Amino acid sequence: MNVRNLTRNFLLLLAAALTNSWQLAPASADQLLVADRLSNAVYRYSGNGTLLGTVLTDNVNLVQPAGIALSPDSTKLYIASSGNNRVMQYDYSVATGTATNPTIFGDASEGLLFPSSILCSQDGSKVYVSNLGGSGVAQFDTTGAPAGPPVNGAIGGGAYFQFSGLAFAPTGELLVGAFQNFPAANAGTVAKSNAAISSLGDFLTPSASLNGVTGLLVDGDDLYVAAGFAGTVQRFDANTGVADPSFGLTGLEFPQTLLENPNGSGFLAGILGFTDGSGKISKYGYDGSFQGVFASAGGGGFTEATAFVSVVPEPATIGMLTCAAAALGFTVRRRLA
């Protein structure tokens, strides 16, 4: 066999391998980990909403989990346990979809008071935890040691101190949901940190249509805000805080977490429902168009989709595909959530 035939056969084998890899892509596509407040469990779903199994059930360490996050390398799973003022850390395996080695990452002695949302810093060096109990936004390093005093501020003149959803502004500041004003309890808002993320200041105009702010999502220069008590999702300029009057979802049954849809076509919204077990995860376009139900409660999965986070494929899988494509002279491009 001459060199030309050897080269041809080698390229054919590579092409076949690459084709088979792409055929297996759904198994390694983005997945969703869903924390369930009612069962103290986390469930795993495929990028198209198929239940893949239970990641963990931990009735010893978890009491009504309210927030969930993954470290940037997807090896550590963090869960905010609101009922006992803890954040639990687990070793997470993307390959098996399992979480092991439960460890108390932070507790009330470190400023956690009804912890709500969790967000890892963009460089992976810090973990931010918002608190509905009035203790600000706690910040930890990756070992669980405090990384500074709580991030706080006199939002709305001091009327807002229950903090919920977390997201980063396009220029890197921390956006923080201010759940509800006190004592009126009839409005909500969103605060914004300074550049150093050491203090919070007013950002959005407080409004009854934001009462019970829960999930925040930044897409480009757009900020989407869910408000559970108001039953709304609204859109704002993520840099200026100006409301977009052309967008607005209303009449939702207690919307909670907002997250980019794994397929990149819009966002997912956790809808808790007005009764236990009646909730779902709905799909919306970034223009507000309803695109169907991603997953419903029951069927061996979540009872209440309290919080969720996306998981990207293992780096080794992506690298293998990229190398194979490079050998064939192609460029493989994949958008990661």
pLDDT category of residue 119 using cuts at 50, 70 and 90: very high
- Domain membership of residue 244 (yes or no) is no
Average pLDDT over every residue of 79-88: 98
Asked if 167 and 197 count as a contact pair (C-beta separation under 8 A), the reply is: no
Asked whether the predicted pLDDT for residue 202 surpasses 80, the reply is yes
Distance CA 265, CA 32 (A): 15
Give percent of the chain with pLDDT exceeding 90.
80
Average pLDDT over every residue of 62-90: 97
- Domain membership of residue 116 (yes or no) is yes
- Domain membership of residue 286 (yes or no) is no
Query: Does 14 share its domain with 90?
Result: no
**Domain end: 150, 184, 210, which one?**
150
Domain count, the chain: 2
Query: Does 90 share its domain with 10?
Result: no
- Domain membership of residue 273 (yes or no) is no
pLDDT number for residue 4:
42
pLDDT in tens, 177-187: 999 999 999 99
Question: E-strand spans in 20-70?
Answer: 31-36, 41-45, 51-57, 65-70
pTM: 0.85
Q: Which domain holds residue 320?
A: 1-28+315-332
Question: Which candidate, 111, 157, 104, places its Cα nearest to that of 133?
Answer: 111
**Domain end: 121, 150, 179, which one?**
150
Structure tokens at 95: 């390959």
**Domain end: 133, 150, 167, which one?**
150
Q: What integer best gives the mean pLDDT of the chain? A: 87
Query: Does 20 share its domain with 65?
Result: no
pLDDT category of residue 262 using cuts at 50, 70 and 90: confident
Query: Does 66 share its domain with 19?
Result: no
pLDDT in tens, 276-328: 989 999 999 999 999 999 999 999 999 999 999 999 765 444 333 333 333 33
pLDDT category of residue 152 using cuts at 50, 70 and 90: very high
CATH number at residue 101: 2.40.10.500
- Domain membership of residue 178 (yes or no) is no
More confident residue, 320 or 195: 195
Query: Does 92 share its domain with 132?
Result: yes
Asked whether the predicted pLDDT for residue 21 surpasses 90, the reply is no
pLDDT number for residue 149:
97
Query: Does 91 share its domain with 22?
Result: no
Asked if 227 and 234 count as a contact pair (C-beta separation under 8 A), the reply is: yes
Query: Does 24 share its domain with 79?
Result: no
More confident residue, 192 or 278: 192
What one-letter code names the amino acid at 321? Answer: L
- Domain membership of residue 79 (yes or no) is yes
Tell me the three state secondary structure of residue 272: coil
